[in-house]
Amino acid sequence: MTGIILTIVIILIALILITSCIKIVPQAHAYVIERLGAYQGTWSVGFHIKIPVIDKVAKKVILKEQVADFAPQPVITKDNVTMRIDTVVFYQITDPKLYCYGVQNPIMAIENLTSTTLRNIIGDLELDETLTSRELINAKMRATLDVATDPWGIKVNRVELKNIIPPAAIQDAMEKQMKAERERREAILRAEGEKRSSILMAEGHKESVILEAEAAKQAAILKAEAEKEATIREAEGQAQAILKIQQAKADGIRFIKDAGADSAVLQLKSLEAFEKAADGKATKIIIPSEIQGMAGLAKSVVETIKDN
């Protein structure tokens, strides 16, 4: 009975030893193996068996990209302004052996290295440059940290300045400056709006004046054309009246000539000439005796014409 129990115990111990010696490395992981305290090898993804007691898993390493968020660090700018800056480092383990044996505490070493590198970079910049040069600071820090951590089997992919916290007095001054800048921009926009409005009003007034001038010009042209047309029609009417009068006179003279009184006609025309010379203003007209005789003759001729 005792032998059976002992056998069962031995079997259980053997099973436990065998189970403890079987290792399965998951994806994106690596195991650093030591044999009798010395580095023996690095296990990658898959199934592995170690020798009991002799082999030992010294460190389990994650090969995925990792993030280290460090607390704010006090730094002094070139113009002696003290501010606090916290950083975020994105890193990845590329060599598990160097990561395991390169430095005692890799994360603490990266944090201290980040702090000192940040102080060196910020010490060469003024406050305004620090606030506006995040990309430059990030690039310099990444390059410096990547070179420094390479012997540790770590690759630094990115470094980001998470927060830049200036002193309270500087923050108040910056807020006042920002407020003044916003007010200035508002005043500029208001002035530009008023300027644009004035320009539009002036352009509208200009268009109105031009339209009024065009309307007045058209009215003047139409009025001139109307007056011209009226003058033309009046002249045509006067010409027609004169033509009618002259036609009537010609018809009268022709009628008298047809009656055979050419001499009398000449005497009558002489009388008309004297009448025009008097123009109704003279009080006394001296008529030659020949014309007086012809007047009597003309009178008889006229009476004869009327009888006929």
Question: CATH number of the domain that 112 lies in?
Answer: 3.30.479.30
Q: What is the pLDDT of residue 257?
A: 63
Has residue 292 got a pLDDT over 80? no
Residue 188 DSSP one-character state? H
For the chain, what is the largest distance between any 2 Cα atoms, rounded to a whole number of angstroms?
Answer: 203
Instruction: Give the residue among 167, 54, 155 at the shortest CA–CA distance from 106.
Output: 155
Task: Give 273's pLDDT tier (boundaries 50, 70, 90).
Answer: low
Range of the domain at 34: 19-61
Are 118 and 161 in a shared domain? yes
Residue type, 96: P
Is the pLDDT at 305 greater than 80, yes or no? no
State whether 50 and 76 are in the same domain.
no
Instruction: Please answer whether residues 109 and 127 qualify as being in contact, where contact means their C-beta atoms are separated by less than 8 angstroms.
Output: no
Q: Give the integer Cα–Cα distance in Å for 255 and 301.
A: 12
Domain for residue 99, yes or no? Answer: yes
Q: Among 162-176, 196-210, 230-244, which range has the highest average pLDDT?
A: 196-210
Contact criterion met (CB below 8 Å) for 171 and 136: no
User: Is 178 domain-assigned?
Assistant: no
Q: Answer whether residue 182 is part of any domain.
A: no
Maximum mean pLDDT: which of 66-70, 214-218, 222-226, 286-290: 66-70
Regarding whether 37 and 110 lie in a shared domain, the answer is: no
Rounded average pLDDT over 221-242: 85
pLDDT tens-digit series, residues 106-141: 999 999 999 999 999 998 888 888 888 889 999 999
The pair of structure tokens assigned to 305 is 């014409």
Q: Tens digits of per-residue pLDDT, 83-97?
A: 899 999 999 999 999
Q: Evaluate if residue 30 carries a pLDDT over 50.
A: yes
**pLDDT at position 290 over 60:** no
Q: Is the pLDDT of residue 302 over 50?
A: no
Q: How many domains does the chain have?
A: 3
Is residue 239's pLDDT more than 70?
A: yes
Please identify, among 29, 61, 93, the residue that sits at the C-terminal boundary of a domain: 61
Residues 52 and 73 in one domain: no
Domain boundary among 151, 166, 181: 166
110 lies in the same domain as 43: no
Q: Is 13 within the bounds of a domain?
A: no
Asked whether residue 183 carries a pLDDT value surpassing 90, the answer given is no
**Residues 104 and 128 occupy one common structural domain:** yes
pLDDT for res 301: 42
**Residue 204 falls inside a structural domain:** no
**Same domain? 27 vs 77:** no
DSSP H helices, the chain, are 2-21, 96-101, 106-122, 127-132, 134-149, 168-258, 262-278, 289-307
Output the pLDDT for position 213. 87
In a domain, 102, yes or no: yes
Q: Please check whether residue 291 lies inside any domain of the structure.
A: yes
Output the six-digit token pair for 211. Answer: 């339209």
